[in-house]
Chain A
């Protein structure tokens, strides 16, 4: 039962263009969503997050959009840079799970982003 799905295993874009990574979820109890980036031989690093009370959060070149009715979120990277080439995971956390619930994340399968110079 895959509660968080990233249906695109890979994405290839040209440097300077927009990268759009998509994520769908099925569990209505999720209320907080995060994106992580992972380079080979390193652990995932936090990128950006969004609460279910918002529909957009922006941080520099990275913007996350949330469509609660569609249970869909996306990560936009503009402009894309070769250093952005990595595996991107979306993750979700349930509501009202307590102060120590932050670790109980459900991850998608990941999308490999390749940005060509």
Chain B
């Protein structure tokens, strides 16, 4: 059983560019959540995908978008990057309707720096 993996590990972009971050969920998990963790802060919920559909969204603008694929892996896309988008982006997978879905398994994150 493999854990949650994310790619790339680090990324440097310039303001105005677009970025795509990737996440492979843990085997058997059908729900993926994305979080943004700014320096010195806790993770903030961006959105969640369940069986390829967005299921809930936090307080993030539409330039943050995502996808979930049939194998339950996921992408986070951010358009028109701003300096404040510099953060650690965490992906977490879980079982949506199973009792143990109350715990999530996080990947190591992608650190994005916007210059």
Q: Enumerate chain A interface residues (CB-CB to B < 8 A).
A: 4, 6, 32, 34, 36, 41-46, 49, 89, 91, 93, 99-110
Contact = CB atoms under 8 A, between A and B. Distances in A.
A102 B101 contact: yes
18 contacts: A32-B102, A34-B102, A34-B103, A36-B106, A41-B108, A43-B92, A44-B106, A93-B102, A99-B97, A99-B101, A100-B31, A101-B56, A102-B103, A103-B56, A104-B58, A105-B43, A105-B45, A106-B45
Contact of A108 (B35, B42, B58, B103): B42
A100 B97 contact: yes
Interface of B: 4, 31-33, 35, 40-45, 48, 50, 55-56, 58, 90, 92, 94, 96-97, 101-109
Contacts of A110: 41-42
